Structure 1
Amino acid sequence: MLKNIGILGSTGSIGTQTLDVIRNNNDLFNVIALSGNNNIELLERQALEFKPEIVAVFNEHKADILRDKLFPFDIKVYSGLNGLIELAKHEKIEVLITSVVGMIGLKPTLAAIESGKDIALANKETLVTAGKIVMNKAKEKNIKIIPVDSEHSAIFQSITTKEKKEINKLILTASGGPFRNKEKKDLIDVTYREALKHPNWNMGRKISIDSSTLMNKGLEVIEARWLFDVEIKDIDVVVHPQSIIHSMVEYIDGSIIAQLGISDMRIPIQYALTYPKRIFNNIRKLDIIEVGNLTFEKPDIETFPCLNLAFKACEEEGTMPSVLNASNEVLVNYFLNDKIKFYDIPNIIEKILLKHKKISNPTIDEILYSDSWARNKAKELLKL
């Protein structure tokens, strides 16, 4: 039996790599639904290749264009947020890959969980902003949430017990990004072009900037707190520049179990799709002798304050992570457009967090309101 797959964000980095995995295993998977935002040319090519039943385009104008192009092929085209939600609820989908960037993924993911789909999660914002609500809903519906991010996939694979009390801590590894070993004075005038040059991973623009500030690792810490139901004090971050060990789990007896592999997102994507089974692939295998040395360092939170801001937001919980995430998203966009400097990102995020009146146990609407508030506050502080 083919496993029926839906992909939210099929034109992005994770989405295209997911389709690469499916393309190489077309005897195992059937694509039911695809979604994109602006790149309808690529989405059209994907639709014609994989023949999904439905396609959703967040940009409503572009949805109209694509609808005309796909009409002869009997592929339905939905639009807007409601279109993404309808896609997520499609009755034939068994596993939904959520790889859209931003808060846009939250409501469709919740809709998928409500309708009984397992989730292969590659959208950080879903758990960063609403982790408590999402994980409680998944538990209530007996839904599996399988992480796609390499670090969370590594932890998922390294947890060998159902007894949470046997786990001492989770250790998330970070490459250190393109500015590892730089001092604060070296980064004052760096450009977004320099920040995009990640040494190990091929990622989208936004996540590449987050990696350069270490905010990406901070968001992963918040995700891990909810995904694996651990306290924030039981999560550590270590810089591991080789990106061979993708993360580790330390147990109360002193044992540490780690997952290793080359830096290729298709490996955790494939595992999320085939879980609990593993299948062969033609991806280059890790040669541990060739690697030679594995090294580890403490993260420099003075040079990269975004990591510390994320830990603090996670400790406070409530709407603080949503505000952190939203303000960061706005500021990264400005940085990518040459409108602000590198350190404006953490400096303005900190100001916004201090101005925010936290809601301790927010509803989804309150989370979305805090997201909107933070975006407006960022623009107000920048006077842009």
Structure 2
Amino acid sequence: MRKRVALLGSTGSIGTQALDVISANPDRFEVVALAAGGSDPALLARQALDHEVPLVAVARTTAVQDVQLALYADAQRRGWSEGDVRLPRIVAGPQAAVEAVRTPADVVLNGMTGAVGLLPTLAALETGATLALANKESLIIGGELVTGAAKPGQLVPVDSEHSAIAQALRGERVEDVKRLLVTASGGPFRGRTREQLVDVTPEQAAAHPTWDMGPVITINSATLVNKGLEVIEAHLLFGIGFDRIDVVVHPSSIVHSMVEFVDGSTMVQASPPDMRLPIALGLAWPARLPGAARGCDWTSPAAWEFFPLDDAAFPAVRLARRAGEFARTAPAVYNAANEVCVDAFVAGDLDFLGIVDTVGAVLDDHLTDPDSATRDLTLDSVLEADAWARGRARVLVEQR
């Protein structure tokens, strides 16, 4: 029987690659709902009709008419006038993705970007469906709200690093883990000093050397904020303390992460950089899909290099550890401030170094607030902290 899939963020990098995997395995999956922001109505319409999706969710209500027109135009080309094409039902608004999640599904793949993925993540866990999670931000800011809502085995990571760790831990005991080693490509500016990052442009930051990702994640990889978020994510997913989670720079992105055990053994998951592999695992978990991605070429000479992280030039991981160890709403503050700063950088209102500097300043303000240490982690407190951090970041950006 085919697995029913609800796909959130369908027009983004994760979403389009997920549909590639699904198209290659029509006997394994059917798409029952798509959700997207609405910025690419033609692509969303094509996806909906290609996969005969009954429900399409659009976050921006102003984009609904464009999506409808795109659907009509594409349907006409496919023979709609002869009754051969079925148009999907459209829902719109900030809660549209949550409605898509509540369509009966076996797997929800959350490929949204940013904190907006939190409510759909919680809604997906409530349905009992397997949650293939690429939207790391929802886990990081939700923390125990998300892990506490997940049944055993319900939450499957799609980030390549955490998918690698999950694979390495299959059949292993957590108490036998000495440490997790999360790999980082180092981004486009690996090896540069802080002084050499002063004049970085958005175009340079968006040119990742090994991965093809969306613009926000690519810039987060350039600042290493993304790796900081992944350290918090690893802690929450696998229950390993921050003192036992290390980051190592691995430029070729062949080794996606490693697990070192107490007996000195290290388990490595290796494959060429291709998100279709962890996406396929997330959709089919615990099964594997034959031919999901190409494997390593073991007939050619190859070298794997690893380097320590330069905390002086790239302090984002250190800041993330601080937020994660403080817990409560600090990770939400870290993430929200960064989202504002990335937008400001892309718009030309903030320099590259100002992204992490501003995130650090907002986090300092939060951690020195006496109320932060006593505030319980609730959905309301997360949303309040998120809103406060965004406002504070905007003020600091204007001051710079």
TM-score band w.r.t. shorter chain: over 0.9
Question: Separation in 1 of the partners of 2:67 and 2:177?
Answer: 49
Partner of 2:8: 8
Question: Separation in 2 of the partners of 1:204 and 1:16?
Answer: 11
Question: Separation in 1 of the partners of 2:301 and 2:336?
Answer: 38
Question: Separation in 1 of the partners of 2:69 and 2:190?
Answer: 48
The within-5 A match list for 1:124-143 is 124-139=136-151, 142=152
Question: Separation in 1 of the partners of 2:289 and 2:14?
Answer: 19
TM-superposed CA distance for 1:283, in Å, is 3.3
Q: What do the CA deviations read for 1:118-154 (whole angstroms, capped 9, x no partner)?
A: 1000001111101211011103xx4511111110000
Counterpart code for 1:192: P
Structure 2 alignment gaps of length 5 or more: 73-79, 81-85
* Alignment match of 2:383 (pick from 368, 373, 378): 368
Partner of 1:198: 208
The within-5 A match list for 1:308-347 is 308-347=318-357
Partner of 2:77: none
The within-5 A match list for 1:183-194 is 183-194=193-204
Partner of 2:173: 163
- Cα pair 2:277 2:292 within 8 Å, conserved: no
Q: Which secondary structure does the structure 2 equivalent of 1:178 belong to?
A: helix
Question: Separation in 1 of the partners of 2:170 and 2:42?
Answer: 44
Structure 1 alignment gaps of length 5 or more: none
The within-5 A match list for 1:341-360 is 341-356=351-366, 357=369, 358=372, 360=375
Percent identity over the alignment is 42
Partner of 2:269: 259
TM-superposed CA distance for 1:292, in Å, is 1.4
Q: 1:267 to 1:375 in 2, by over 3 A?
A: same
TM-superposed CA distance for 1:103, in Å, is 1.1
Counterpart code for 1:81: P
Partner of 2:281: 271
Q: CA RMSD in A?
A: 1.5
- Cα pair 2:184 2:249 within 8 Å, conserved: yes
Q: What do the CA deviations read for 1:53-90 (whole angstroms, capped 9, x no partner)?
A: 10000001112442465477341111112211111111
Q: Which secondary structure does the structure 1 equivalent of 2:188 belong to?
A: coil
Question: Separation in 2 of the partners of 1:309 and 1:55?
Answer: 38
Question: Separation in 1 of the partners of 2:173 and 2:51?
Answer: 41
Moved over 3 A (4+): 67-72
**TM-score with structure 1 setting the length:** 0.96
Q: 1:379 to 1:236 in 2, by over 3 A?
A: same
Q: Which secondary structure does the structure 1 equivalent of 2:94 belong to?
A: helix
**Number of equivalent positions:** 381
Q: 1:41 to 1:74 in 2, by over 3 A?
A: closer
Question: Separation in 2 of the partners of 1:269 and 1:240?
Answer: 21
Q: Which secondary structure does the structure 2 equivalent of 1:295 belong to?
A: coil
The within-5 A match list for 1:27-176 is 27-37=27-37, 38-67=39-68, 70=71, 73-91=86-104, 93-139=105-151, 142=152, 144-161=154-171, 163-176=173-186
TM-superposed CA distance for 1:111, in Å, is 0.7
Question: Separation in 2 of the partners of 1:103 and 1:113?
Answer: 16
- Cα pair 2:349 2:397 within 8 Å, conserved: no
Q: Does 1:280 align with 2:293?
A: no
Question: Separation in 1 of the partners of 2:221 and 2:342?
Answer: 11
Question: Separation in 2 of the partners of 1:374 and 1:83?
Answer: 25
The within-5 A match list for 1:224-303 is 224-281=234-291, 283-290=293-300, 292-303=302-313
TM-superposed CA distance for 1:291, in Å, is 5.2
Question: Separation in 1 of the partners of 2:92 and 2:25?
Answer: 29
TM-superposed CA distance for 1:20, in Å, is 0.4
